[in-house]
Amino acid sequence: MYSKFIGLFFLIAAFMAVSSLAGFLEYTPMKYSQSKLVYDLAERAIKHYNKQKHRKPYDRVDLCVVKTALHKQKRVDLYRVYMATFKPKCLKIADNDCYPTLMAEIVKTSAKKYKVSYVQPVKLFNIGYTDCHFPQ
């Protein structure tokens, strides 16, 4: 008889533990008041992306606009930034994307110090030609 109560108690405790951890796994959108921080993080991510793999001059990208900025608070603060970019020197080669969208994962290591974990291209947003085209 006690084994049924122990099993029921264990099931309830497991459900409560899982439901309490569910909030940790979600990213929350950042506020517009933090836009300076968001664009600083985006610039760091662009520098990191251009440095990795010794990019050729025609593969380098510049920041156009930040599309989405998300924040997750665990033991350390995690930021995820989706940004629209453009290539100033874009070669018209087949399958060459002149307006790639990048996703950056950034970790706050200490007060006012941030580290870019990774930056990768994503096919999440459809960026039109006129959004980032700056005539000479």
pLDDT digits (tens, 9 = 90+) for 32-76: 888 899 999 999 999 999 988 666 777 788 888 888 899 988 788
Amino acid 4: pLDDT: 73
Instruction: Give the domain extent around 70.
Output: 27-122
Which of residues 113 and 92 earns the better pLDDT score?
113
On whether residue 18 sits in a domain, the answer given is no
Per-residue H/E/C for the chain:
CHHHHHHHHHHHHHHHHHHHHHHHHCCEECCHHHHHHHHHHHHHHHHHHHHHHHCCHHHCCEEEEEEEEEEEECCCEEEEEEEEEECCCCCCCCCCCCCCEEEEEEEEEECCEEEEEEEEEECCCCCCCCCCCCCC
Predicted pLDDT of residue 80: 92
101 pLDDT more than 50: yes
In a domain, 1, yes or no: no
pTM value is 0.71
Residue 3 has pLDDT above 80, yes or no: no
- Domain contains 82: yes
What is the predicted pLDDT for the residue at 126? 59
Mean pLDDT over the full length of the chain: 79
What is the rounded average pLDDT of the residues 90-112?
Answer: 79
CATH code of the domain in which 32 resides: 3.10.450.10
Question: Does 23 have pLDDT greater than 60?
Answer: no
- Residue with the larger pLDDT of the pair 23 and 61: 61
Tell me, yes or no, whether 128 lies in a domain: no
How many domains does the structure of the chain reveal?
1
